[in-house]
Structure 1
Amino acid sequence: MKKILLIDDEQDFGVLMKSFFAPKNYEVYHALTLSDGMRILDEVKPDYIFLDNNLPDGLGWGKTEYILVNHPTAQLNLISAYQVPKTSASSFRILEKPLVMEELNKIIVE
């Protein structure tokens, strides 16, 4: 079973992601803070990571380099509702909130 880690302080967004991916046979983990997210990341080693930038305990995107170096097989997806640069690379994507479910289907490769 593939694993998804969502690091986002919006509880409702976590419920939405779980309800979207659970029927597709994905195990979804949700961290509400950056520190919890980084702990879960190293414990679970997810296949897909959705990382919000603006978190209560720091800027999520500041952990991008750590994630890319230490979890190179995970697909990193950076998300934010504010000032999203229109760029992506093969090792990560940048997504703007609100996310569109069809866009999530394109990201997750079964």
Structure 2
Amino acid sequence: MNKKKIVIIDDEEDLCHLMKTYLVELNYDVFLANTLGTGLTLMKEVSPDIVFIDNNLPDGLGWEKMDYLLQAYPECKINLISAYKYLPPELTGRTSVKILEKPLSLSTLKNYL
């Protein structure tokens, strides 16, 4: 049985490593990127089952890539990370897109897998 693959795109490196440690213990393959460009390239290479993507990244806004991600990875669960809870109207009703509000709690991370 193949492990599910997760890509985390967030410029907070400590958060990425904490999430990775937790998710690896749950038997996921986890890949990290700290910029939007690196993350999108990584997604092409990995073709993840689940992605966690921050909005404010050093090289752009992660949420602006939602249309692309939804089209390129229709089976992927997309989790938007932000310091404030806001779902853009164009994403309302999309069951494959969820919002995680920072600060994150590892105990609630299971709800987004």
Fold shared by both chains (TM-score > 0.5): yes
> Does the 8 Å contact 2:55/2:81 carry over to 1?
yes
CA distance in 1 between partners of 2:94 and 2:58 (Å): 27
Q: Among 77, 99, 103, which residue is 1:98 paired with?
A: 103
The count of corresponding residues between Structure 1 and Structure 2 is: 107
Q: CA RMSD in A?
A: 1.3
Does structure 2 retain, via aligned residues, the 8 Å contact 1:52–1:80?
A: yes
Question: Aligned residue for 1:17?
Answer: 19
**Offset at 1:84?**
2.5
Asked whether the equivalents of residues 88 and 94 of structure 1 are also in contact (C-alpha less than 8 Å), the reply is no
Partner residue of 2:69? 67
Cα distance between partner residues in 2 of 1:43 and 1:103: 28
Paired letter, 2:5: K
Unaligned runs of 5+ in 2: none
SS in 1 for 2:31: strand
User: Following TM superposition, where does structure 1 have runs of at least 4 consecutive aligned residues deviating by more than 6 angstroms?
Assistant: none
CA displacement at 1:31 relative to structure 2: 0.3
**One-letter identity of the residue aligned with 1:89:** R
Spell out the pairing of 1:30-41 with structure 2 (5 A cutoff). Answer: 30-41=32-43
Question: Structure 1 vs Structure 2: percent identity of aligned residues?
Answer: 48
Question: Cα deviations across residues 18-66 of structure 1 (Å, max 9, x unaligned)?
Answer: 1101111111101000000000011100110000000000000000010
